[in-house]
Amino acid sequence: MRFIRLVVEGYGRFHEPHEFRFESGLNCIVGANEAGKSTLLSALLDALYTVPTTTAQSARARICWGHPHGWRVELELELRGTYVRLCKFHPVDDPRRRAEFWLEVDGETLQGEAARARWEELWRVPQEVYLATACVRQRELAQLSPRSLKSLQQQLRESAVNADLDRILNALAAEQRRLRTQVEEHQVRLDALKERLRHAREAARKQHELQTRLRQIQAEIGSLRPSVERDEQLLARWHALRAQQEQLERLQRQADANQRHLEQLERLEQRAHALEAELQTEFGILTQLPPDFKAQVDAARQRYEEAMRRLGVLEAEMQAQRQAQQQAIGRRKARVGFAFMGVALLGASAVLWGTSPLVGAIALALGIVALGIALLWRAPRETFIAPSAQHAALREEAQHHWQQLVALLAQAGFSIETRPYNGTPEAHSALLSQQLQQALHQFHEQWDKMQRHQAELERVRHQIEALQAVHDPKALRDQQRALAVEIVGLQERIAQEATLRAALTPEAALRLEDNLRRMQEQLRALEEERLRCEGALQALPETEPVDALELEYSRAQRVLHHLQTRLRVLEATEALLRETNARYLSDLSPRLKPKIEQYLPTLTLGRYTRAELDEQLTLQVYHPERGTTLSVEAEQPAWSVGVLDQLFFACRLGLSDALSDDLRLPLLLDEPFVHFDAERARAALELLLRISQHTQVLLFTHHALPAELEPHAHIIRLLPTSRVV
């Protein structure tokens, strides 16, 4: 197998279309850093493995910056003697709908999903296998884990070498899938039959239970209904009798109430007549007076008492003035006495001074004191008020109010004697006041009594009017006669049920009613249950016969058992074939060891020549200085970085040879000799020249080939501007 031509556009650094042609031997792609070597390697891998409809960010990131459409790669290759051309387009936006995939093989052109399926059928090399064996990218030489050799070899063998076994396994897998599908379908059908059978059995059981219960309910209803009807008739008669008795009692109460209304109306009318007679006989005069006559009397009395109060106040003031005048006259006479006494004492002092100076001095002092008192004692100014016109006016006003009050009392029938004595009414004032108070007291008592009689008469009249408004006396008497007739009829009908009253007491009726209520509730519950049973019977779905479903279910079980048996046989066959294949693959170690030992001396300049592979395909190399074999691991201190790259590179080449019987994958090498010294790098290049005689090699490097090797290689130079030379 070899690559023929690669065209890239809008991919990485390649904005415009670029075409690269490869020879069957050693192809050396030379370029400085960032000239596009790794980009070409990624383009080859995308052409082989990437689905253009992917939405992965890594695929989108490979679109050339600013390209309006997206990246496009086209690869021509020779695969097992067949010319194949494939083209992939990954757009800038909406790759699921706008991506393109073309495949041209044997003159046939395919697109889309058909092209992808056909390409996978032709290529049959998993990407993991290619990247772990024939493809070495920058800084990935030692990333191959020795423990993964077995799995990589198995993938490659299953995909490329054991085509016949794969066809057999694929046929077995297809038959197993078909059988599993049939098993699943029959299992679903069997589950459906089982569910139908369960529903049919459940429906039959429910139908039998409902029919049995319905017959029991009908029998219970038939035995219970006659007793209920008999008790209902008996209780209906008893309730009718009770209703007649209650109606009789109600009519009697109504008749008694009507009689009480009539009697109350008669009593009220008699009381009204008695009150009217009393008012005419006892209060004839007072009834003729105006309604506010009492207010007039009270007002006249208040005016008279107010005038008498003011007159008393004025007379008290005049009496006080007279007493003050009498006191002033007494004080004046005392001053004159003190003055005469002082003069006398002064004169006596002059006489006594000659005989007894002490006595004369005492008389002199007393005289001076008496004269001082007479001179210094000042009495208030004497005033005298003679009886004024105000007093006379008040007396006249009081007399006027007296006359008005007496006149009002005389109008009410209460007279007071007012004969003057010696022409003045004051001579009998106390007696007249007492008579006035008695007359006023009698007037108020009579007036209040008359008011109470009138109020009672008014209340009685209102009661009479209210009773007459509610119950017309004539209508009440007519109603009484009708009630009497109805009461007699009810008493006769009640007398006819004397036997029922004697046989069924109220307590027995209550017990019978409770028993009847329980039987009615039981009967109602039975009727409801009967309706539910009938409704449930009608609502039961139409189901298939249980016998037919059981027969069909047993047949389906036999078919499912037969399919499961065939599936187990096929699974056992596939397991045996895979076990046989695994045993065959376990023989890879004897074939891989000489391949690795073939390349070790050349790459290490003869220093390391012997390699070992255990059953787990773990690579071990004999170390001449230590005299033992050491595992090829980065953690092993005996190996330098360059030696590890050389050992792993030998392992890669040997693995590629051992696993590629009829399909030799092109070697894609991106700077694999970074840690090689100059001599070992030259030896590795010479080894690649020998390998390129039977395997296409694409070496991506920034180092120029030695002059003596350039004629044997096809060189493609990349410039920083992405132009190809």
Instruction: Quote the tokens at residue 625.
Output: 């200085």
Phi-psi region of 413 (alpha: psi -120 to 50; beta: other; left: phi over 0): left
Model pLDDT, residue 302: 85
The mean pLDDT value for 217-243 works out to: 85
Of 227-241, 261-275, 397-411, 700-714, highest mean pLDDT: 700-714
Per-residue pLDDT at 110: 93
The pLDDT of residue 588:
65
| pLDDT of 90 | 94
686 token code pair? 């010479």
Determine the length of the chain: 725
pLDDT tens per residue across span 95-141: 989 999 999 998 899 999 999 989 988 887 778 778 877 888 765 65
Predicted confidence (pLDDT) at residue 719 exceeds the cutoff of 90: no
**Contacts within 8 Å (CB) and 24+ apart, 129-133:** 129/155, 129/156, 129/159, 129/659, 130/45, 130/48, 130/665, 133/652, 133/655, 133/656, 133/659, 133/665
Rounded distance between C-alpha atoms, residue 609 and residue 590, angstroms = 16
Query: Residue type at 28?
Result: C
Per-residue pLDDT reduced to its tens digit, 152-182: 444 444 443 343 456 667 777 888 888 889 8
Q: Does 279 have pLDDT greater than 80?
A: no
Residue 120 has φ and ψ, to the nearest 5°, of: -65, -35
- Give the ranges where 471-587 is alpha helix by DSSP (H): 473-496, 498-503, 506-539, 546-585
pLDDT of residue 378: 62
pLDDT band, residue 417 (cuts 50/70/90): low
Asked if 555 contacts 215 with a C-beta cutoff of 8 angstroms, the reply is no
Mean pLDDT of the residues in the chain: 81
The more confidently predicted of residues 552 and 338 is 552
**Is the pLDDT at 676 greater than 50, yes or no?**
yes
pLDDT at 2: 92
- The total of other beta-carbon atoms located within 10 Å of residue 605's CB is 13
pLDDT at 163: 39
Q: What percent of the chain has pLDDT over 70?
A: 88
Taking only Cα atoms into account, the Rg of the chain, rounded to an integer number of angstroms, comes to 74
pLDDT at 337: 80
User: Mean pLDDT across the stretch 297-302?
Assistant: 82
CB distance 403 to 307 below 8 Å: no
pLDDT for residue 596 is more than 80: yes
Model-level pTM? 0.45
- List pLDDT tens digits, range 431-477: 777 777 887 877 788 788 888 888 888 888 888 888 777 777 788 88
Q: Beta strand 100-105 with 667-670: parallel, antiparallel or unpaired? A: unpaired
| For range 593-604, the mean pLDDT | 85
What is the percent of the chain where pLDDT is above 90? 14
The 10 Å Cβ neighbour count of residue 14 is 23
- For the cut 50, the answer to whether the pLDDT of residue 145 exceeds it is no
Residue that wins the pLDDT comparison between 304 and 377: 304
Residues 669, 649: Cα–Cα separation, whole Å? 10
Chain segment 532-563, per-residue pLDDT in tens = 888 888 887 777 788 888 888 888 888 888 88
Position 328 scores a pLDDT of 74
Q: At what angle do helices 163-282 and 429-470 cross, to 10 degrees?
A: 130
Looking up tokens 């757009």, which residue turns up?
91
Render pLDDT for 621-644 as a digit per residue (tens, 0 to 9): 888 888 888 888 777 787 888 888
Q: Which amino acid is at 346?
A: L
Helix, strand, coil % in the chain, rounded to nearest 5: 70, 10, 20
Residues in CB range of 12: below 8 A, 6 or more apart: 36, 39, 42, 43, 62, 64, 71
Burial class (CB in 10 A: 0-12, 13-18, 19+), 336: exposed
**Residue 149: Cβ within 10 Å count:** 24
Q: What is the arithmetic mean of pLDDT over 339-355? A: 79
Sign of dihedral through CA atoms 243, 249, 251, 254? negative
pLDDT-derived band at 418 (thresholds 50, 70, 90) equals low
Among 248-262, 298-312, 706-720, where is mean pLDDT lowest?
298-312
User: Per-residue pLDDT for 485 more than 50?
Assistant: yes
Is pLDDT above 80 for 353? no
State the pLDDT at residue 159: 40
Nearby residues of 553 by Cβ (< 8 Å), 6 or more positions away? 190, 193, 194, 197
For the beta carbon of residue 537, count every other beta carbon within 10 angstroms: 13
Task: Give pLDDT, residue 138.
Answer: 64
